[in-house]
Structure 1
Amino acid sequence: MAVRWLSAFLDFSHEDFSNEVTFWRAIAGSTVSPARGAHREFASLEPFNGDPHLRVQRVDSGDGGVHLDLHVDDVSESVSHATTLGATIVSKNPEVVVLHSPGGFSFCLVPWHGESERSRPIRWPGDTISIIDQLCIDVPAAGFDTECDFWAALTTWPWRQGISPEFRNLRRPPEMPLRVLLQRVGSDHIGGHLDLASTHPEEEVARHEGWGATVVEHHRFWTVMADPIGRRYCITHRNPRSGNLSG
């Protein structure tokens, strides 16, 4: 199975969809594509250059969350591969198969339509450069090793140890727009969040606060933020072009 492209999907409730798309469009420095889908429930956050890797969806129930789309040449073959590795099928239609990882994280296998050009980071006033470039899967400790091995086998990208024992990341090919990070957490519920790489995190935090985000907590290399409805994400001190830690 060859993963040709990755997309992170932000899933929003009906009530929050419009305001949340406005917030995430603003901090990504993107425009929004025309709505698509049977109920106009999907859209892409379009970068000013390159192919989109951030997408939004209006969901019928629940508060939403974040999931990963893997774009592949042959969906049926990839589904067989994923289920052999321990994934379970949630739903199918001709364009998308929704699955759960062994730990229960939602992801989709979708056809590849030729996406290949990574978008470049945005340069903001004040000379800060940033990009939303990472999806972090937050994994309960008991299933952490199994989940890391599953994603490495599914993508064929080996995992490597992060800056501390609770982090591992997949070695993505250079053309991939998203990094995949796995974090061992104390919760018993698997989840996920997006990470943003920035050259000047303090300035980035201030800009996000101006759009309605709030600071949850500071760490050495990252700041945990909450968007206007409380959805958490991180502003990280990483090189926006390479994805590597800075400082």
Structure 2
Amino acid sequence: MRIRWLTAFLDFPTDQFGAEVTFWRAIAGSTVSPPRGERREFASLEPFNGDPHLRVQRIDHGPGGIHLDLHVEDLGAATDEAIRLGASIIRAQQGDGYVTDGYVTMASPAGFVFCLVDWQGESERSRPIRWPGDTISIIDQVCIDVPYYAFEPETDFWERLTGRPTTATSRPELIRLARDPALPIGIILQRRGREDTTEKASGHLDLAATAVEDEVARHADWGAEVVERFENWTVMRDPVGRRYCITSRNPRTGD
């Protein structure tokens, strides 16, 4: 399967949608596209340069979260490949075939939701945003939080699905997929806990920043809170409680 583009999708309950879109638009330094979809439930966070890699969605049920869109050229073949590797279909077209409205909603073996979508020619990565104080940052990574019991098979699934080898990090609980320089989003997997053998995988966003503390202060001005500080990253909570991380990485390369 050749993945031509990656998009991180933020899913918000109806009562959070407006305020959360405002917060993430500010953090990304972007504008918001006109809404689209049958119920005007989708929008893109439009960068000032390049193609969008962040999108938002209003959902009717559940607490929301994030999912990944994998943009591919042959949706049917990609769906077959994902199923062969252990994914399951969440939303499928009635009758023959899988495809409905240009995408297929799936779950990984550990339950992380992702979509396979038709590639529409996206190819230009956006540049990081430069902020006052001459610091730069960009939202550029999805961390898949995987239950302890499912970590090895889930890591194997994403390595084979994306065709990207895994690389070690400075933390034994974190495994990174080697970054494809043509794609705007990187993927890292984090092993979580030992106790709950029924928990499903979820995910959160990571920002790369040249000055983590300056970035933390800027986010706090928009209503976010610090949860925990580590040597190379700070865990944040957005205004409605959604966790994400500000990391000390190169915003241009993701390293």
Instruction: Provide the residue aligned with 1:197 in structure 2.
Output: 208
Instruction: Provide the residue aligned with 1:177 in structure 2.
Output: 184
- TM-score of the two chains, using structure 1 as the length reference: 0.97
Instruction: Provide the residue aligned with 2:71 in structure 1.
Output: 71
Instruction: Provide the residue aligned with 1:82 in structure 2.
Output: 82
CA distance in 2, matches of 1:40, 1:205: 32
1:59 deviates by 0.3
Unpaired runs of 5+ residues, structure 2, are: 93-99
Instruction: Provide the residue aligned with 1:37 in structure 2.
Output: 37
Identity across matched positions, percent: 63
Matched to 1:108, the amino acid is C
CA distance in 1, matches of 2:192, 2:242: 17
Equivalent residues, number:
244
Instruction: Provide the residue aligned with 2:232 in structure 1.
Output: 221
Q: Is 1:150 aligned to 2:157, yes or no?
A: yes
1:159 deviates by 1.1
1:140 deviates by 0.7
Instruction: Provide the residue aligned with 2:91 in structure 1.
Output: 91
CA distance in 2, matches of 1:31, 1:214: 23
Unpaired runs of 5+ residues, structure 1, are: none
CA distance in 2, matches of 1:60, 1:10: 14
Instruction: Provide the residue aligned with 1:25 in structure 2.
Output: 25
**Could you say what secondary structure the match of 1:229 adopts?**
coil
CA distance in 2, matches of 1:158, 1:79: 21
CA distance in 1, matches of 2:36, 2:16: 18
Pick the aligned partner of 1:130 from 134, 137, 140: 137
Matched to 1:202, the amino acid is E
Instruction: Provide the residue aligned with 1:2 in structure 2.
Output: 2
Instruction: Provide the residue aligned with 2:95 in structure 1.
Output: none
Q: Is 1:141 aligned to 2:148, yes or no?
A: yes
**Could you say what secondary structure the match of 1:68 adopts?**
strand
Matched to 1:149, the amino acid is D
- TM-score of the two chains, using structure 2 as the length reference: 0.94
1:95 deviates by 1.3
- The 10-residue stretch of structure 1 (185-194 or 100-109) with the greater mean CA deviation from structure 2: 185-194
RMSD: 0.8
Q: Is 1:119 aligned to 2:130, yes or no?
A: no
Instruction: Provide the residue aligned with 1:168 in structure 2.
Output: 175
1:94 deviates by 3.0
Please give the per-residue CA displacement for 1:124-177, whole angstroms capped at 9, x wherever unaligned. 011110000000000011110100100010011111111111011111321110
CA distance in 1, matches of 2:10, 2:141: 13
CA distance in 2, matches of 1:107, 1:68: 5
Alpha carbons 2:180, 2:186 under 8 Å: kept: no
1:62 deviates by 1.1
Matched to 1:15, the amino acid is D
CA distance in 2, matches of 1:45, 1:174: 21
CA distance in 1, matches of 2:52, 2:58: 18
Alpha carbons 2:13, 2:59 under 8 Å: kept: yes
1:215 deviates by 0.3
CA distance in 2, matches of 1:53, 1:138: 20
Instruction: Provide the residue aligned with 1:240 in structure 2.
Output: 251
